[in-house]
Amino acid sequence: SRVYNFSAGPAVLPEEVLQEAADEMLDYRGCGMSVMEMSHRSKVYDNIIKEAEKDLRELMNIPDNYKVLFLQGGASQFFAEVPMNLMKNKKAAYIITGQWAKKAFNEAKIYGEAVAVASSEDKTYSYIPDCSDLDIPEDADYVYICENNTIYGTEMRKDPDVKQRLVCDMSSDIFSRPIDISKYDIIYAGAQKNLAPAGVTLAIVRVDALGHVDRPIPTMLNYATHIKKDSMFNTPPVLPIYAALQTLKWYKEQGGIAAMEKKDMENAAILYVEIDRNKLFRGTAAAEDRSIMNVCFVLNDAYKELEDEFSNFAAAAG
């Protein structure tokens, strides 16, 4: 009875993860209670969060000078937290590849000078701007990118080389390809696309990138708070973290991130081949920048009136 769910987020989770969560819902491994009900300070829960961190480090090959955090607030909260925690010279460079990057850019303006060093806004973010020779201010505290542009179906598929610190919103492409963590200073991702239900935001933070700003930072929005307390400064989103652990284990069973990339590329190719072949449809992203995570397409203008019929057909076909 389960449908093929292509929603960008909240997105499909592995059936095994949902099944395991269902099986353990009333009684987590003999504790006589659900993960939803147990103390986050209990030994049992401590094992869950520690194991999630361990699996994540292993899967993504995270070096020791990076801290893994499980936070609340969603990816949107990071739009402000990043400049709050990193803008020392009060200047940062933004590559604006979509609405989410634009929102982050606007938040940064609250804390300093946000410089748009590249943008694809001129063509409704349907392509990735050329980033080969960017005019990045020498004193920029960081360069900000959003690698996969969920709404527009474009994706930067190469770890960028910049001299400055690099901050990346990986909300919709984390775990879709192996990455070199050492190129980034902060990676963050809302969980609800590739990891767990909404409620937890994953952050991978290079510890020495912090502690350089002199502005007061509210305790909960200061990454140092959460680093010091291993994501346990306050009550963490216990159930999404538990689900994240199950998904991370599933990724490992699938053969890890490289295996996921292969599968994602195969799946995306099936869709793109059909979109390009079928005269009813057209892809909305520049072919060379197409995402393997979000395959965006519309009906060609000549067939616009078939939209409802197509939606009904797709719903009936599950």
With respect to ligand PMP, which residue has the nearer C-beta, 10 or 137?
10
Residue 183 bears catalytic tag: no
Name the one range near ligand PMP by CB under 6 A: 28-36, 164-172, 260-268, 271-279.
Answer: 164-172
With respect to ligand PMP, which residue has the nearer C-beta, 76 or 89?
76
Interacting residue with ligand PMP among 21, 75, 166, 295 (CB under 6 A): 75
With respect to ligand PMP, which residue has the nearer C-beta, 111 or 152?
152
Interacting residue with ligand PMP among 97, 120, 164, 172 (CB under 6 A): 172
With respect to ligand PMP, which residue has the nearer C-beta, 46 or 121?
121
Q: How far is the CB of 194 from ligand PMP (least distance, A)?
A: 11
Residue 100 bears catalytic tag: yes
| Interaction between residue 100 and ligand PMP (CB under 6 A) | yes
Residue 250 bears catalytic tag: no
With respect to ligand PMP, which residue has the nearer C-beta, 76 or 225?
76
Q: How far is CA 274 from the centre of its chain?
A: 27
Name the one range near ligand PMP by CB under 6 A: 14-22, 168-176, 233-241, 303-311.
Answer: 168-176
| Interaction between residue 150 and ligand PMP (CB under 6 A) | yes
Interacting residue with ligand PMP among 81, 107, 155, 169 (CB under 6 A): 169
Name the residues annotated as catalytic: 100, 169, 193
What residues make contact with ligand PMP under the rule CB under 6 A? 9, 74-76, 100, 146, 150, 169, 171-172, 190
